[in-house]
């Protein structure tokens, strides 16, 4: 797909629409632009009848018809755009995916998470149009000191939560990612294994499990990974899962 994804933003809060407009302007791969916005379902349907959009960023709780009802109506359009729900209420996730939503974002939306949702939108549109390329390698979009970098997920050896950020480690260097370890685990659990409340490791990179002494936690276990010299502590809670991963 060439050019920017054309996005319709639907939210009854002007500040929420403004924030999404700002975040979308910062998205790099794929690029996206707010082609129109709407404060309720009625305005949104008017826009959808007038113009063609690639995606709708859709709030759920709105006056009048809510976002779930609007998503149902969108499904009946001749060429429905991809729907991404954006809401503060995570309890609607199951209903959202029953309506064929491409993704489900919780507020406050982070740039990296929005970028991932747009990648899903692009793959969804390519598959529908029959132009999908062989499975493109998934990447992390990392903002680092004013530059945007694409880091292939296949190069990541571990994620480690430290203070308010996550360290993303490859064999060549470390990056800082603003995100949630639980979110990364949920999205990439087939590729990454939780070994501690603060760490996920690439399943393919786990080399060994060995005895380890930590000054704070005492005797325990740690994993060693191919590609880095350091070892990472394994919590007692995750020990069985790590052993099973090594055995498999």
Judge if 108 and 22 occupy the same domain: yes
What is the rounded average pLDDT of the residues 171-181? 88
Closest CA to 30 of 59, 54, 47: 54
Mean pLDDT across the chain, nearest whole number? 85
Q: What pLDDT sits at residue 2?
A: 45
Q: For the segment 7-39, what is each residue's pLDDT rounded down to a tens digit? A: 999 999 999 999 999 999 888 778 888 999 999
Structural domain total, the chain: 2
Q: What pLDDT sits at residue 88?
A: 79
Q: What pLDDT sits at residue 83?
A: 92
Is residue 52 in some structural domain? yes
Judge if 158 and 232 occupy the same domain: yes
Boundary residue ending a domain (81, 97, 129): 129
Judge if 13 and 122 occupy the same domain: yes
Q: What pLDDT sits at residue 8?
A: 95
Judge if 84 and 178 occupy the same domain: no
User: Which are the contacts of 127, defined by CB distance < 8 A and separation ≥ 6?
Assistant: none
Q: What pLDDT sits at residue 1?
A: 42
Judge if 100 and 13 occupy the same domain: yes
User: Lowest mean pLDDT: which of 53-62, 120-129, 153-162, 229-238?
Assistant: 120-129
Judge if 120 and 165 occupy the same domain: no
Residue 132 has pLDDT above 60, yes or no: no
Distance CA 164, CA 152 (A): 23
> Which CATH number goes with the domain that contains 18?
3.40.50.2300
Boundary residue ending a domain (96, 129, 162): 129
Is residue 138 in some structural domain? no
Residue 215 has pLDDT above 60, yes or no: yes
231 or 96: which carries more pLDDT confidence?
A: 231
Distance CA 185, CA 203 (A): 12
Q: For the segment 64-78, what is each residue's pLDDT rounded down to a tens digit? A: 888 889 989 998 888
Q: What pLDDT sits at residue 137?
A: 63
The residue segments making up the domain with residue 176 are 152-247
Please give the share of the chain, as a percent, with pLDDT higher than 90: 40
């Amino acid at each position: 797909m060439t050019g920017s994804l054309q996005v319709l933003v639907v939210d009854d809060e002007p500040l929420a629409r403004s924030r999404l407009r700002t975040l979308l302007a910062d998205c790099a791969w794929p690029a996206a632009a707010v082609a129109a916005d709407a404060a309720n379902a009625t305005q949104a349907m008017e826009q959808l009848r007038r113009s063609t959009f690639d995606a709708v960023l859709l709030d759920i709780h709105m006056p009048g018809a809510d976002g779930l009802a609007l998503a149902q109506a969108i499904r009946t359009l001749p060429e429905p755009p991809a729907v991404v729900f954006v809401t503060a209420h995570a309890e609607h996730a199951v209903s959202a995916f029953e309506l064929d939503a491409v993704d489900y974002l919780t507020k406050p939306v982070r740039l990296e998470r929005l970028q991932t949702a747009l990648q899903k939108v692009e793959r969804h549109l390519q598959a529908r149009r029959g132009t999908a390329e062989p499975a493109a390698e998934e990447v992390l979009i990392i903002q680092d000191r004013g530059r945007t970098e694409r880091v292939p997920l296949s190069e990541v050896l571990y994620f480690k939560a430290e203070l308010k950020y996550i360290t993303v480690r490859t064999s060549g260097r470390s990056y800082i990612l603003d995100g949630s370890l639980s979110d990364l685990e949920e999205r990439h659990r087939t590729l990454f294994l939780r070994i501690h409340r603060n760490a996920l490791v690439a399943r393919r990179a786990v080399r060994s499990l060995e005895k380890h002494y930590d000054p704070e936690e005492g005797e325990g276990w740690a994993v060693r990974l191919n590609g880095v010299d350091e070892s990472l502590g394994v919590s007692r809670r995750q020990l069985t899962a790590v052993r099973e991963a090594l055995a498999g």
